Structure 1
Amino acid sequence: MSKNRLLIHNKSDKPDNIVLKQNQIVERCLEIEGQLPSFMRDFFLYLKSGVALSTRLAYLEDIFFFCRYLIHSSSLSQASSTTEISIEEFSHIAAKDINRFLGDYCSRYTMENEEYTKIVENHNRSLARKKSSLSVLFKFLYRDEIISKNITDGFNPIRLPKPQPDAIKKLEIDEVAKMLDIIETGSVFTEKEKIYWQKTKLRDKAIIVLFITYGLRVSELQQLNVSSFNFNRGDFRIYRKRGKEVLMPLNKTCERVIKEYIKDERPLDSILEDYDKDALFLSIQNKRMTIRAIRNLVKKYTSLALGTSRDSGYSPHKLRATAATSLIQQGFSIYDVQNLLDHDNVTTTQLYAAHKKDVKREIVKNFEWLDEEQ
């Protein structure tokens, strides 16, 4: 029996595509919860009301991964499936068991299927996230008296490298100019590649300009609709992490490239499916572009600007860094840039400001009033 078509009855201010995306995440959360032990039910309610939707999914995926480890790769549970893990078995888990899971198993493990064996290696940032997920779970179970001990104090620390300004990957101003020129002229493409470029150059230019102007996250750009833009008021609406709805002002460049794309290249609504009629950025197949397609597009153009291989091209997040450093170099305060880019902590923004300090140091170094001999 085929599944019924999903209809959206939307009485909120959110566009349908945002509601549908959130529903997909909720469905995935419910699917994972159905594969976890029943004694975690109250914990699921806590996640539902206490954390952002994307965080809820991340926690559930990590906990499900840990439960699979318990039954397949450890002697801590005799259960044959993750739903059968008992509270008694969970009560006997000690901090040293979590430390072994994180430090020994998670750092490198294999995943096998009929076609291949995949080696998975996690860096400390991934391990820290798994540790955080398990800490939240075990603290909740202790707080609700489901287990008798709080073992989280015994979890080994996971040292994360301090971000260094010199390690930030971004495009320099001349590289941005080269990238925009490539999109405008198609000069580096073969005759065969130009056929595709001619069909998407206005779309591609609008995507890149939005990235380097606003430092948008890829999900924020992918979710944009035609109705997100109010050209009369000179702004557009985006949905950020934790469901924040934000109005962004339009400058003349962004307004021009968006209007050119909509007027001269974007397919007419009459040939689009209902679900895609409002989507701003469309694929050749006239569907809303996927996050993966946008990432590939950015990697393509940045690799051409950098003169490197496609695999070495930059991700959209590197264009976010490009926007941040460019704004600070133009003299905007780190607090203004923090607000524009939606950084939770200003110390993140300060990393980009370090580049401006280097410029000042170089200027002063080469501007001496007195000779050394004096």
Structure 2
Amino acid sequence: MEKEEQLLNTRLEFKSFIDYLRNERRYSENTVKSYQKDIAKFLIFLNDNSIDYREITIDIIRSYILELTITHHSKATIKRIISALKHYYKFLYLRKYINQDVFELISSPKGEKKLPDFLTTNEIDLLLDENKKRTDELADRDQAILELLYASGLRASELINLTLQDINMRERIIRVFGKGSKERIVPFSKTARCAIEQYMQGSRPKLLTNNPKGENHIFLNSHGEKLTYRGLEYILSEVEKKTGIYLKLHPHKLRHSFATHLLNEGADLRTIQELLGHESIGTTQIYTHVTYSEMKNTYDKSFPRARKRRSE
């Protein structure tokens, strides 16, 4: 057993925190695993230096941040780790495992602003058109996944957790349970509806024959079971191989494309915030940087003085 697993398995308070994330906050398994990994590293750091987790100080936390920096962790990674530890220690304090929450006095480092990676409308059209030409037995499922991810901006976890009861084909709306089990209603396009209908009448019934227990989730793997996150990533990788269109596909890339294209077509930020399920408008505002960048490129190509200066 690995050192971090041995350490964490002896901590009842840690198990209690993980149960809280899963059962009360309803975080995805990937998020829970990320918390486990980040908190484990800190507890091992304390253990290696013979420090009781209940007796940490601001200087100890700063020493840990310095160690992360020296070992070439990015600002974004350090920010994520500190965020996880702040959440953990707040939980410990509220549940009376510790007498004070020192992390309350720690500010997270400012993260590096990374612009969302997205596909152009031409790339989206090419991807969907080429995938539609496939004739293998899972082609209609993969087309439905691509169409719905792009047409709704769903997170990967939201897509794989969709059930038959969550989707209204007639009205073209989905009931989505996002982060923290927050419910929202998301519309989807007519082309996505058509792709889903073809999948529901085509390969889905065949996939279900591989699972005697039946399955209520919409998107299934080859065993007729609910897709996993890794399974979805594998499907997108296979789509690239089968179509010959290599765009570094990822569920979040299609989500970013959805939001960016909406903004480019004039949708307001508040609407996009609601559709994406962002808690803060600040999270949605990053897409304005993308469209401003695109706007500047158009300006540089079109404005006479800009063209002249580029050629000088």
Which TM-score applies when normalising by structure 2?
Answer: 0.77
Identity, in percent, stands at 23
- Segments of structure 2 that go 5 or more residues without pairing to the other structure are 1-5
Aligned residues: 297
Contact 1:281 1:289 (8 Å CA) reproduced: yes
Counterpart pick for 1:168 among 113, 116, 119: 116
Q: Which range is displaced more, 243-252 or 269-278?
A: 269-278
User: Cα gap change, 1:143/1:234 in structure 2, threshold over 3 Å: closer, same or farther?
Assistant: closer
Counterpart pick for 1:366 among 297, 302, 305: 302
Contact 1:125 1:160 (8 Å CA) reproduced: yes
Amino acid at match of 1:283: N
Shift of 1:177: 1.1
Q: Does 1:67 align with 2:43?
A: yes
Which TM-score applies when normalising by structure 1?
Answer: 0.65
CA distance in 2, matches of 1:220, 1:347: 21
Shift of 1:145: 7.8
* Structure 2 partner of 1:198: 136
Q: Which range is displaced more, 91-100 or 282-291?
A: 91-100
Residue-by-residue CA offset, 1:28-58 (whole Å, 9 max, x unaligned) = xxx99763166x79x8499579972329945
Residue-by-residue CA offset, 1:238-266 (whole Å, 9 max, x unaligned) = 22111123333343212111111111221
Q: Which has the higher contact order (CA 8 A, sep 6+)?
A: 2
Contact 1:32 1:61 (8 Å CA) reproduced: no
Shift of 1:314: 2.7
Counterpart pick for 1:215 among 153, 156, 169: 153
User: Cα gap change, 1:353/1:141 in structure 2, threshold over 3 Å: closer, same or farther?
Assistant: closer
User: Cα gap change, 1:252/1:243 in structure 2, threshold over 3 Å: closer, same or farther?
Assistant: same
Counterpart pick for 1:126 among 77, 82, 103: 77
CA RMSD of aligned residues (A): 3.9
CA distance in 2, matches of 1:46, 1:261: 36
User: Cα gap change, 1:354/1:131 in structure 2, threshold over 3 Å: closer, same or farther?
Assistant: closer
Shift of 1:224: 1.5
User: Cα gap change, 1:70/1:253 in structure 2, threshold over 3 Å: closer, same or farther?
Assistant: same
CA distance in 2, matches of 1:333, 1:239: 23
CA distance in 2, matches of 1:169, 1:306: 20
CA distance in 2, matches of 1:269, 1:314: 24
Contact 2:118 2:256 (8 Å CA) reproduced: yes
Q: Does 1:53 align with 2:26?
A: yes
CA distance in 2, matches of 1:328, 1:60: 36
Amino acid at match of 1:126: T
User: Cα gap change, 1:178/1:44 in structure 2, threshold over 3 Å: closer, same or farther?
Assistant: closer
* Structure 1 partner of 2:62: 99
Shift of 1:326: 1.0
